[in-house]
A and B are shown apart, each in its own frame.
Chain A
């Protein structure tokens, strides 16, 4: 559905996108992942025809973005990072305007208008001024305008940025439900988002594509060994974490134990084991030694680790982590 070959965008001083090639098949949801300023938006803008590539080519539904831009634009729905809303327009009026721009007329336009209002849950703000809508509604109206002409391809630039956790979940569900009918590319710098919504991941850093794979494969690749996070606390308020570490290491199958955090009464250990299920044994070992087991979960940060491995940017990594924690904490 989308074929990108050696796509490059060069500005006077820097190269924003550097010889990127990838393919997206029909009906897939692809996550476009990378730190801020990696070139995600630039690539998407080139696909939508908003920017012209310096070199390379991109075809959408068989049409070249440079040679037949109008045909491409008919088949693409695009939600930029900030939804392109006119504050002085009312929701229904705006969606009608966008529908007309995309070539819809008459009954077809009315039918699609009702459909997208329903689908994106904006029917109750139909007659409100866009300038007065909340962030969540603005995002949904943005999504509604992207799908109003039932495009083959949907390009969404950070569709969940700036939303609260509930809205993030709703938006993700909406995007997931749109997959199948539409081929979707969505960009994000939030890793769990990719894990939850996408089938395929493209990781981009400093304008270069550093990995393309399915989410499953990427996770497996990183998880040569099973990794479990164990949080232990002592009963009387203090804990000898060296002892815990030692005890955990004795559990059959465990290859390595790393101390992640050590507060006086809160200790996290990351336990790596050979493939196999060791969580039961770990739990028993902790409890039988007279400690409290506070938490035991698979260390599912693997995609993040791959991401860091691939992009190798410490600063970006810290940002991602913070974002992640913030999202988790809020939900």
Chain B
């Protein structure tokens, strides 16, 4: 556990010592801020219309702002996740520092979990940026905070799963660009897999749709903690990190 923290601290420091972290956080703040502003503007317009008509439509902040925004964060994350994970191992392999990690008295899995934790922490920082926007809703309205919390948990799990996949892909190459592009492709594919369920109901289509990373987020976005979906994400995290460990092990044989 100590070793995991040593690695995680070093990785986080690398993120924040280079412009990567600041760039990602700034871009995320801009993009999410724009999404937030848009949906708030729409919400205000709806409110004014319902007043003009004289009939009070039920206006719910959770339903109309938080829920779609949480889904949006998931989609924006898809674009940011490859940029977080692409350097994790590719950079170490290119610069040769992987030799230091691989010859230190520390287990591969500790290195892997440490790096993954650092990536998840950086993503959590992005969620904190989003939270600044949500805080205004609490200042001027009375949204229910529990669904937001569960939504956040879902986002972390979803990102954790994609970050684990990205970490694995980063062990396959010395080239960060290749790692990033491949991770982006896989993330995108995992996202759009559920589209098949729109026109096909055969078993294989259901399996494909089930594998989609987005479908499992719907319950979280609604504020429902569905164990089935949580387990799906945890399984992907586990598999991703397991394959990372296998890939690192194979380096000892292939070089």
Contact = CB atoms under 8 A, between A and B. Distances in A.
Contact of B253 (A52, A84, A87, A101): A52
Interface of A: 11, 42, 45, 48-52, 70-71, 73-74, 76, 78, 80-82, 84-89, 97-98, 100-103, 145
B146 interface: no
Interface stretch (B36-44, B93-101, B233-241): B93-101
Given A50-B252, A88-B14, A89-B17, A101 B106 contact: yes
Contacts of B97: 84-86
Contact of B103 (A50, A52, A71, A88): A50
Nearest to B17: A88
Contact of B18 (A76, A85, A88): A88
A86 B99 CA distance: 12
25 contacts: A45-B99, A49-B252, A50-B99, A50-B103, A51-B252, A70-B105, A70-B107, A73-B103, A73-B104, A73-B105, A74-B105, A78-B103, A80-B96, A81-B96, A84-B95, A84-B97, A86-B10, A86-B14, A86-B95, A87-B95, A88-B17, A97-B6, A98-B100, A101-B6, A102-B104
Nearest to A52: B252
Chain B contact residues: over half helix, strand or loop, or mixed? helix
Contacts of A98: 100, 104
Nearest to B7: A101
Nearest to B9: A97
Contact of A82 (B96, B104, B254): B96
Given A85-B97, A98-B100, A51 B105 contact: no
Contacts of A80: 96, 99-100
Given A42-B255, A73-B106, A78-B103, 13 more contacts: A50-B252, A73-B103, A73-B105, A74-B105, A78-B99, A80-B100, A81-B96, A82-B95, A86-B14, A88-B14, A88-B17, A98-B100, A101-B106
Contacts of B192: none
A42 B253 CA distance: 11
B186 to A, nearest CB: 27
A145 B100 contact: yes
B26 interface: no
Contacts of B255: 11, 42, 45, 51
Nearest to A77: B103
Contacts of A70: 105-107
* Interface size band for B: 20 to 34
B50 interface: no
Given A51-B252, A88-B17, A103 B10 contact: no
B109 interface: no
Interface of B: 3, 6, 10, 13-14, 17-18, 95-107, 252-255
A275 to B, nearest CB: 47
A88 B16 CA distance: 10
Q: 5 nearest interchain CB pairs?
A: A84-B100, A73-B105, A84-B97, A101-B104, A88-B17
A80 B97 CA distance: 9
A76 to B, nearest CB: 7
B102 A50 contact: yes
Max chain B C-beta neighbours (<10 A), residue from A49, A100, A102, A145 = A100
Contact of A49 (B18, B98, B102): B102
A100 B106 CA distance: 10
Nearest to A9: B255
A70 B108 CA distance: 11
Nearest to B18: A88
Contacts of A103: 105
A327 to B, nearest CB: 25
A101 B101 CA distance: 8
A49 B101 CA distance: 11
Contacts of B18: 88
Nearest to B255: A51
Contacts of A74: 105
Contacts of B107: 70
A82 B99 CA distance: 10
Contacts of A52: 252-253
A52 B13 CA distance: 31
Nearest to B252: A52
Contact of A100 (B6, B13, B14, B102): B6
